[in-house]
Amino acid sequence: MKFFVDTAEIDAIAELNDLGMVDGVTTNPSLIMKSGRDILDVTKEICALVSGPVSAEVTATDADTMIAEGRKLGEIADNITVKVPLTWDGLKACNVLSGEGKMVNVTLCFSANQALLAAKAGATFISPFIGRIDDLNLDGLDLIADIRTIYDNYGFDTQILAASIRTANHMSECAKIGADVATAPPGIIKAMANHMLTDKGLAAFLADIEKTGQKII
């Protein structure tokens, strides 16, 4: 499973990228706002930092303007993925932009029917929002499984990009289901390395070696 990092913070992306933990980046207007920077400037910097897809979201809601914004974003770098909402206008924009050879990430997906439409429209990625479905006392992972079944049934090339990741457990569960990509904040990706038994075992090893008075260097 590929890891995309869900942030617009350059330092956080660089740290994970240096460790080989970044296959791509997802951004949105809310993340850009948190960074306090110009949307085009920060997107260009991210694209220069990572080689994988960088999702940059349109701000319009009508198809014609989404298409125009998508073309503008696509001029930033070859690894730009134009991010459009899963609305009827967004699907129209997806169809046009993907037909022009641009990568398109259709976001805000909350049903298998929506995912099926996005695949038919030529989406490169579909972004089901796990955490927001969980907030409704439903299981967002069920949606990932449903989309995986549908896409496998018909051989769709659209990649499942699990989004709204809230926990490290979401990451492993998405991998077991077969999501192609999971995008998560830097803190969630780092949390995947944590386990109380690792900490306990390390403490015991360090205590024992300290008793011997030995050092490697």
First to last CA, the chain: 38
* 83 annotated active-site: yes
Q: Strands, DSSP E only, in 87-166?
A: 103-109, 125-128, 159-162
The C-alpha atoms of residue 31 and residue 64 are separated, in whole angstroms, by 24
Interhelix angle 63-74/88-99, nearest 10 degrees: 40
Cα 82 to chain centroid, rounded: 13
The residue annotated as part of the active site, out of 2, 34, 83, 200, is 83
Q: Strands, DSSP E only, in 11-113?
A: 24-26, 54-57, 80-85, 103-109
Handedness of CA 92, 96, 97, 98 (dihedral sign): positive
Catalytic residues: 83
